[in-house]
């Protein structure tokens, strides 16, 4: 009896040992597979020196060209997707093949090859590395002054032809070009509006006005900038203004500046000279100017933008007393690079000068214009 009980006990133990070993083997294999899954990551590409490289938070890599980074937005151009703008927070790694100009929040500018990784920035120049926290980065632009990526622009054209009870031809042409570097922003804008009656062969001009502006901003800090050059050339047939030239400088301040909203104000002195139609030479005026301006741009969505641009000049009474210009409206991108613009314009001279033998013109000129634009 003793021998039989000992044999049964041994069989019982052996069965449980086999079951335990099977369970341990299953758990070990599952743990190994789980660990293998956790450490897997997409392969890192071989970085060809023919391209800049960009890695997104999703793990995807893109090769192409770094155009610029400003206002927490990175512009990147690839052969497959053309030019794309990424939120800076969605970029986890960035590598440049050319020297870049990197500006930091304290105003310091460095030049060299760029590597951004793990919230850290490395500038490689002259065989040495300089390390910075990514939070200090303000902007990135190409260090090559002749690269076309430093420029952007837009042209627009609107035409309105009326016949029947009203025979009239209206058209508006506008153009803008801008160049941005870590330290400067140069901008030129031109707007021309013309309208004539086509009732008979003796065409009568109804509207003939043009405005050319050019300015150069130097960024002192992330908030303050100096407009070291500010020029305006203005003509308006209805206001009896043959030419009005204004040259000055001003101090600017960024009230808000992020990836969706930009609001700037400027204030400074200028000098103005005005030549009139159909008036005596003595009526041509020269005046000192106090110029005040504000520019408000808001991206309502990825395709719809709102613009409010207002400029006010305080001048001598014989030069108009107060001259103002307002442009406000919407820009809708219905296809890549093509926009539909709906803009309202107001040009006002508080004290207009009358041509000889005629009553003074009205102070305000209003225009509502729909135009097609191309952005490049």
Lowest mean pLDDT among 137-141, 262-266, 281-285: 281-285
More confident residue, 368 or 37: 368
- CA distance linking residue 125 with residue 139, whole number of Å: 18
If one compares 282 and 311, the residue with the highest pLDDT of the two is 311
CB atoms closer than 10 angstroms to residue 14: 10
State the pLDDT at residue 35. Answer: 47
Between 342 and 336, the more confident residue is 342
Do 114 and 141 touch, CB atoms closer than 8 A?
no
Please indicate, yes or no, whether the overall pTM of this predicted structure exceeds 0.85.
Answer: no
Residue 323 has pLDDT above 60, yes or no: yes
Q: Which domains does the chain have, with CATH numbers?
A: 52-144 (2.30.30), 149-375 (2.40.160.40)
Res 148: pLDDT: 57
Question: Is the pLDDT reported for residue 245 higher than 50?
Answer: yes
**Bridge pairing between strands 100-104 and 91-95:** unpaired
One DSSP character per residue, 247-296 reads: EEEEEEEEEEESSSEEEEEEEEEEEEEEEESSS-GGG-EEEEEEEEEEEE
The larger pLDDT score, comparing residue 71 to residue 99, is at: 99
pLDDT at 89 over 60: yes
Using the predicted structure, report yes or no on whether residue 336 has a pLDDT greater than 90: no
Give pLDDT, residue 318. Answer: 84
Over residues 292-310, mean pLDDT: 94
Kindly tell me if the per-residue pLDDT of 348 is higher than 90.
yes
- Mean pLDDT for all residues in the chain: 83
How would residue 205 be classed by pLDDT, with cut points 50, 70 and 90? confident
* Three-class secondary structure of residue 330 per DSSP: strand
Per-residue pLDDT, 98: 84
Report the pLDDT value the prediction gives residue 1, as an integer from 0 to 100: 44
pLDDT higher than threshold 50 for residue 299: yes
The pLDDT, as a whole number, for residue 2 is 45
Separation between Cα atoms, residue 144 and residue 164, nearest integer Å: 56
Question: Which positions ≥6 away from 10 have C-beta within 8 Å?
Answer: none
- Tell me which of 201 and 264 has the higher pLDDT: 264
User: Tell me, what's the pLDDT at 28?
Assistant: 62
Whether 157 shows a pLDDT value over 90: the answer reads: yes
When pLDDT is averaged across residues 314-337 and rounded to a whole number, the result is: 92
Burial class (CB in 10 A: 0-12, 13-18, 19+), 140: buried
């Amino acid at each position: 009896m003793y021998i039989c009980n000992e044999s049964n006990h041994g069989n019982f133990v052996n069965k449980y040992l086999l079951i335990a070993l099977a369970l341990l083997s299953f758990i070990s294999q599952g743990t190994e597979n789980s660990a293998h899954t956790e450490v897997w990551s997409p392969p890192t590409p071989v970085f060809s020196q023919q391209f800049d490289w960009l890695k997104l938070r999703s793990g995807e890599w893109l090769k192409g060209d770094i155009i610029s980074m400003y206002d927490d937005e990175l512009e990147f151009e690839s052969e497959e997707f053309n030019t794309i703008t990424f939120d800076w927070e969605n970029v986890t790694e960035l590598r440049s093949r050319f020297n870049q100009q990197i500006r930091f929040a304290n105003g310091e500018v460095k030049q060299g090859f760029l590597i951004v990784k793990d919230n850290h920035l490395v500038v490689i120049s002259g065989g040495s590395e300089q390390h910075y926290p990514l939070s200090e980065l303000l902007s990135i632009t190409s260090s090559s002054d002749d690269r076309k990526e430093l420029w952007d622009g837009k042209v627009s054209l609107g035409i309105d032809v009326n016949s029947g009870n009203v025979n009239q031809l209206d058209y508006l042409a506008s153009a803008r070009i801008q160049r941005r570097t870590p330290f400067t922003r140069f901008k030129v804008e031109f707007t021309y509006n013309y309208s004539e009656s086509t009732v008979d062969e003796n065409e009568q001009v109804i509207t003939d006005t043009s405005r050319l502006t050019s300015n150069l901003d130097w960024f002192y800090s992330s908030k303050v900038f100096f407009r070291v050059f500010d020029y305006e050339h203005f003509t308006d047939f209805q206001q009896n203004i043959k030419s009005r030239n204004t040259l000055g400088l001003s101090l600017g301040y960024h009230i808000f500046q992020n990836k969706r909203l930009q609001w700037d104000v400027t204030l400074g002195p200028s000098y103005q000279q005005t030549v009139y139609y159909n008036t005596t030479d003595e009526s041509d005026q020269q005046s000192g100017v106090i110029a005040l301006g504000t520019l408000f741009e808001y991206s309502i969505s990825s395709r719809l933008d709102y613009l409010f641009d207002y400029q006010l000049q305080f001048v001598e009474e014989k030069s108009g007393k107060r001259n103002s210009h307002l442009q406000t409206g919407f820009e809708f991108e219905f296809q890549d690079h093509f926009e539909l613009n709906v803009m309202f314009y107001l040009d006002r001279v508080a004290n207009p000068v009358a041509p000889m033998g005629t009553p003074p013109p009205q102070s305000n000129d209003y225009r509502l214009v729909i135009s097609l634009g191309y952005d490049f």
